[in-house]
Amino acid sequence: MPAADDSAKVPVFPPAIFLIALAVGFLLQHFLPLSPGDSWRAAGRVAGYALVAIGALFMFSAVALFRGAGTTPNPTRPTTALVFGGPYRLTRNPMYVGLTLITSGIGLWASTLWPALMALVAAVIVQRVVITREEEYLRRKFGTPYDEYCQRVRRWL
């Protein structure tokens, strides 16, 4: 049984932050429309689809690697292993990069800029509320291997 303090003590499930950002983005769009214009509509849809696809690839491949390593992608539960392959060679946070891209992509696909802007706000919140706690926890738990990984790979991209 894991120790009671064996987690990053993340106060909120990170995907909820992005869902809230997406909802706020569409609410802002309703009350304060901000669209790229008709000439950008087709390009925005293509870019939106691409961002959602790339984001989903980052996210789901990262989750699959966690499961393959026998650890959980849920930051509220104990981590049992470090993962260095796949998208973790490019970023220490491929799930959050994926969620940021997906949230931005949905906004572009819907021809509104607010969700894309709110995705950046969500990323800043995740950085301050989630990632800093996760990094402190992983440093305590794994020490030098995690520190060396942090020196090799950027936090975002």
Q: Which residue has the tokens 């569409």?
A: 26
In order of 61, 81, 129, the CA distances from 54 in angstroms are: 11, 25, 25
Q: How many angstroms separate the CA atoms of 122 and 115, rounded?
A: 10
Confidence at residue 1, expressed as pLDDT on a 0 to 100 scale:
44
Q: How many angstroms separate the CA atoms of 14 and 36, rounded?
A: 28
Q: Which residue has the tokens 């869902």?
A: 19
**Along the 157 residues of the chain, how does pLDDT read in single tens digits?**
455 578 999 999 999 999 999 999 999 999 999 887 778 888 999 999 999 999 999 999 999 999 999 999 999 899 999 999 999 999 999 999 999 999 999 999 998 999 999 999 999 999 999 999 999 999 999 999 999 999 999 999 8
Name the token pair of 81: 């292993």
Q: What DSSP character marks residue 84?
A: -
CB 139 within 8 A of CB 79: no
Name the token pair of 48: 């939106």
Nearest by Cα to 129 from 27, 20, 24, 53: 20
User: For the whole model, what pTM was predicted?
Assistant: 0.94
